[in-house]
Chain A
């Protein structure tokens, strides 16, 4: 496991025309209002997605039937500049409670001015989500594909702005 090759992190950046405190509060307090509802894991349709505002807090969805599904945990809660949560949803689209299999998402909020904020997302430790040997094989077979993939992603995000 410890010798498994790493997968490059996914990085995304977006600039929003609001102060940094506002950007942080929309991202966290209103998480369930903007997160695309199709990306959820529960059997029932998603009624709400909740990020508890403290280190050690839960990050989970509530279904329309009242059921709850965990997504991960809050590792760092530093308003209004930084947030780190785990993402424990595996390739089978299921919650994996094993902390060894937890990937991490770090979100940084940087004020560019009084009314503009850059939000950077890094989704890392992706190798923990999948079997080490499978990753090794994929990287060996696919060669240096990851860098190219990352560049494409960066371009796609840039084009959206």
Chain B
């Protein structure tokens, strides 16, 4: 019963896929460009891209002999999953910063 609707967040549970997603959020790229920056093969990158595309997070279009992948700009899933991710990390970082900055003596009081 699950999966289609929750695809956005579920798909980003895989660290490599999340890395690809975040790279595409920074810059549209081809399979080759992504593979250069990752410790996995081009076919493995292609496989992750197919999953992201099926989940509606990523779109592609041909450019010359290559395909360029980017986040689906109209994709609610893509946007929301990405913002989810950002807040998740941002709040964890905020917690660390707030607690690191406190004087231990003050904390006792």
**CB within 8 Å of B: which residues of A?**
7, 10, 12-18, 22-23, 26-27, 30, 33-36, 38-39, 90-93, 114-115, 119, 121, 123, 126, 129-131, 134-135, 138-139, 142-146, 148-149, 152-153, 156-157, 160
Find chain A residues with CB under 8 A from B8 CB: 145, 149
**CB within 8 Å of A: which residues of B?**
2, 4-10, 22, 25-26, 56, 71-81, 83-84, 86-99, 101-102, 106-107, 109
> What is the chain A residue whose CB lies nearest that of B91?
A14
Instruction: Check A91 against B75 for contact (C-beta < 8 Å).
Output: yes
Find chain B residues with CB under 8 A from A152 CB: 6, 9-10
Instruction: Check B91 against A119 for contact (C-beta < 8 Å).
Output: yes
With A and B bound together, what is the CA distance between A115 and B104 in angstroms? 11
Question: With A18-B102, A93-B26 as given contacts, are A34 and B97 in contact (CB-CB < 8 Å)?
Answer: yes
Residue in B77, B79, B107 whose beta carbon sits within 8 Å of that of A129 in the complex: B79
Instruction: Check A138 against B97 for contact (C-beta < 8 Å).
Output: no
Residue in A10, A26, A126, A130 whose beta carbon sits within 8 Å of that of B97 in the complex: A26
> What is the chain B residue whose CB lies nearest that of A36?
B89
Find chain B residues with CB under 8 A from A129 CB: 79
Interface centre among A38, A123, A143, A148 (most CB of B within 10 A): A148
Instruction: Check B102 against A34 for contact (C-beta < 8 Å).
Output: no
The binding surface of chain B is classed by DSSP as helix
Find chain B residues with CB under 8 A from A39 CB: 86, 89-90
Instruction: Check A36 against B93 for contact (C-beta < 8 Å).
Output: yes
The tally of CB-CB contacts under 8 A between chains A and B is 138
Find chain B residues with CB under 8 A from A90 CB: 73
Question: With A114-B109, A152-B6 as given contacts, are A134 and B74 in contact (CB-CB < 8 Å)?
Answer: yes
Find chain A residues with CB under 8 A from B92 CB: 14, 160
Instruction: Check B94 against A26 for contact (C-beta < 8 Å).
Output: yes
The 3 closest A-B pairs by CB, nearest first: A145-B5, A134-B74, A34-B97
Instruction: Check A16 against B99 for contact (C-beta < 8 Å).
Output: yes
With A and B bound together, what is the CA distance between A131 and B78 in angstroms? 13
With A and B bound together, what is the CA distance between A35 and B95 in angstroms? 11
Instruction: Check B94 against A134 for contact (C-beta < 8 Å).
Output: no
Query: A87 to nearest B CB, angstroms?
Result: 8
With A and B bound together, what is the CA distance between A134 and B79 in angstroms? 12
Question: With A10-B87, A93-B26, A121-B87 as given contacts, are A144 and B95 in contact (CB-CB < 8 Å)?
Answer: no
